[in-house]
C-alpha cells in the first residue's frame, strides 16, 4: 500500500450524513489497527451543496473527485428540493460525478445474509444463499441521450395540453463493449455466468446491445456462459427464481429498476452497496465512486433509524477495488455478518414480531466491536 490513499467523502442529504458517520468510525478503525492511512477530505453534494453554493456539485468538488483515489457518497435528494429547476436538482450532482468521471460500470451485488433470509418479501427457500451481481451501464442510455427536454408541441393541434417530453435511448457499440467486458471479468471471478438483459424485441438499441455483448463474448470470453433475456422477463425471473443468476449485465435504466428489486430480495434496501468504476488511472486502479444503493430516505432522516450497513459495505468494496485490500474487505464483510447473526437489527430489519432496534450509531459501534473482536 502506498503511504496514503486519498478518499473524498460526500455524505450528501437525508440519511447520508448519518450513515457516513458510521463509515468514518470503520475507516478510523482500519487506520488504527491495520496500518492503513487514508487522506480523507469531506465535501458537499446534492441538496446540501445547493444550500451552500446554489449548485448540487461545485467545479472545485468535481476536481477533487477527479483527483481522489476513491469517492465515497452517502445519498442525495429530498422533498425540500423538488421545486428546484431540473438543472440544479440534487440528483444532477450525482449524475455529473458519474458522467465526468466516466464511471461506466456500476457493480451492484445482492447477497442475502443468512440471518436476514426471513426478512425478504420472498420465501426463505427462494432467497437463502442468494449471491448475484448486477452490472449496470452508468454513463449513457436514456439518462444522458440527446435530444431530451420538454417542448411545446406547436405543430400538433390535436395534442391536448400542447407539450411533448423527450428522452433518447442511445448506445454506441463501444459503450456496450466496455461494460460487457466488466461483466465478463466479474463472472470469471465468480461462477462464470452472464445473463444480459435488454428489450431487443422492441428497441433497436436493444438489438445492438445483444449483438455487441455476444461479439465480446465470442471473441474475448468464450469460457463464460452467456445468455440473453428480455428485461421484463428478467425482472420476473429475478423474483421467481433469483438464484438462477450469477452476473446480470444491463443498461442504465433497466439496471436502475432491476437493482432496486434485487435489493429487496435480500431483506432490506439498507443492505446493498455499490461500486461505480471507470477506466484505470495512472496508478492502474480504476476511477471509482462507492455509494449505497438506497436513497436519502428523508422520512427517517435525523432520527438515528437508518441502517448504515449499505454504506459500510460500500467502503468494503472500496477496500477491494480501489485500495487492493481484499483481506480487509473480507474482514469487514465478516464483521457485518457476525453482527447480523448476533441478532443486532436496525429498524428496517425488524420483523413483524418486533423487538428493540439499535440506532444507526449503535449498529456502527457493534460492527467496529466485531472488527476489534476479530470477526
Q: Which of 256, 287, 290, 321 is catalytic?
A: 256
Residue 232 falls in the annotated catalytic set: yes
Q: Can you tell me which of 94, 197, 247, 277 binds ligand IPM, judged by CB under 6 A?
A: 94
Residue 64 falls in the annotated catalytic set: no
Q: Can you tell me which of 198, 256, 333, 348 binds Mg ion, judged by CB under 5 A?
A: 256
Query: Smallest gap, in angstroms, from Cβ of residue 221 to ligand IPM?
Result: 27
Dig out the grid coordinates for 285 from the structure: 486502479
CB 242 within 8 A of CB 265: yes
CA dist., res. 185 & res. 176, Å (int): 14
* Residue 142 neighbours by CB under 8 Å, 6+ apart: 167, 168, 169, 170, 252, 253
Residue 256 falls in the annotated catalytic set: yes
Residue 13 marked as a ligand binder: no
Residue 199 falls in the annotated catalytic set: yes
CA–CA distances in Å: residue 249 to residues 71, 77, 154: 24, 27, 40
Dig out the grid coordinates for 98 from the structure: 458519474
Dig out the grid coordinates for 19 from the structure: 450513515
The pairing of beta strand 225-230 with beta strand 247-250: unpaired
Query: Smallest gap, in angstroms, from Cβ of residue 168 to ligand IPM?
Result: 16
The sign of the torsion formed by the CA atoms of 24, 317, 339, 345 equals positive
What is the number of alpha carbons within 13 Å of residue 122 lying toward its C-beta?
Answer: 21
Q: Look at residue 94 and give the partner it binds from Mg ion, ligand IPM, none, a contact being a CB closer than 5 to 8 Å depending on partner kind.
A: ligand IPM
91 binding ligand IPM? (CB under 6 A): yes
Query: Smallest gap, in angstroms, from Cβ of residue 256 to Mg ion?
Result: 4
Residue 301 marked as a ligand binder: yes
Region 243-272 residues binding ligand IPM, contact defined as CB under 6 A: 256
Query: Smallest gap, in angstroms, from Cβ of residue 260 to ligand IPM?
Result: 7
Residue 145 marked as a ligand binder: no
Q: Just list the catalytic residues.
A: 143, 199, 232, 256, 260
Binding site for Mg ion (CB under 5 A): 256
Binding site for ligand IPM (CB under 6 A): 91, 94, 256
Amino acid at each position: 500500500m502506498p503511504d496514503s490513499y486519498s478518499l473524498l467523502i460526500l455524505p450528501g442529504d437525508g440519511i447520508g450524513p448519518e450513515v457516513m458517520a458510521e463509515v468514518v468510525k470503520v475507516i478510523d478503525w482500519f487506520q488504527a489497527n491495520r496500518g492503513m492511512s487514508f487522506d480523507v477530505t469531506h465535501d458537499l453534494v446534492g441538496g446540501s451543496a445547493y444550500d451552500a453554493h446554489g449548485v448540487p456539485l461545485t467545479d472545485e468538488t468535481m476536481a477533487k473527485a477527479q483527483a481522489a483515489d476513491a469517492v465515497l457518497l452517502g445519498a442525495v435528494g429530498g422533498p425540500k428540493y423538488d421545486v428546484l429547476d431540473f438543472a440544479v436538482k440534487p440528483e444532477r450532482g450525482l449524475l455529473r460525478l458519474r458522467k465526468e468521471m466516466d464511471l461506466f460500470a456500476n457493480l451492484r451485488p445482492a447477497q442475502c445474509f443468512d440471518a436476514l433470509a426471513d426478512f425478504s418479501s420472498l420465501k426463505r427457500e427462494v432467497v437463502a444463499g442468494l449471491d448475484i451481481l448486477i452490472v449496470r451501464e452508468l454513463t449513457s442510455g436514456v439518462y444522458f441521450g440527446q435530444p431530451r427536454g420538454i417542448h411545446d408541441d406547436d405543430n400538433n393541434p390535436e395534442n391536448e395540453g400542447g407539450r411533448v417530453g423527450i428522452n433518447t435511448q442511445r448506445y454506441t457499440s463501444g459503450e456496450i463493449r466496455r461494460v460487457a467486458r466488466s461483466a465478463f471479468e466479474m463472472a470469471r471471478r465468480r461462477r462464470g455466468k452472464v445473463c444480459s438483459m435488454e428489450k431487443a424485441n422492441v428497441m433497436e438499441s436493444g438489438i445492438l446491445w445483444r449483438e455487441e455483448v455476444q461479439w465480446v463474448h465470442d471473441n474475448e470470453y468464450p469460457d463464460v456462459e452467456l445468455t440473453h433475456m428480455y428485461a421484463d422477463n428478467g425482472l420476473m425471473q429475478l423474483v421467481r427464481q433469483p438464484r438462477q443468476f450469477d452476473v446480470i449485465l444491463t443498461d442504465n435504466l433497466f439496471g436502475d429498476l432491476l437493482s432496486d428489486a434485487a435489493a429487496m430480495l435480500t431483506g432490506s434496501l439498507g443492505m446493498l452497496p455499490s461500486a461505480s468504476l471507470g477506466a484505470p488511472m495512472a496508478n492502474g486502479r480504476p476511477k471509482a465512486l462507492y455509494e449505497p444503493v438506497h436513497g436519502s430516505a428523508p422520512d427517517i432522516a435525523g432520527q438515528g433509524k437508518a441502517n448504515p450497513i449499505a454504506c459500510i459495505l460500500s467502503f468494503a468494496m472500496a477496500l477491494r477495488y480501489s485500495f487492493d485490500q481484499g483481506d480487509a474487505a473480507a474482514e469487514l464483510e465478516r464483521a457485518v455478518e457476525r453482527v447480523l447473526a448476533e441478532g443486532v437489527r436496525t429498524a428496517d430489519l425488524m420483523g413483524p414480531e418486533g423487538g428493540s432496534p439499535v440506532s444507526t450509531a449503535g449498529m456502527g459501534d457493534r460492527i467496529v466491536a466485531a472488527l476489534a473482536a476479530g470477526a
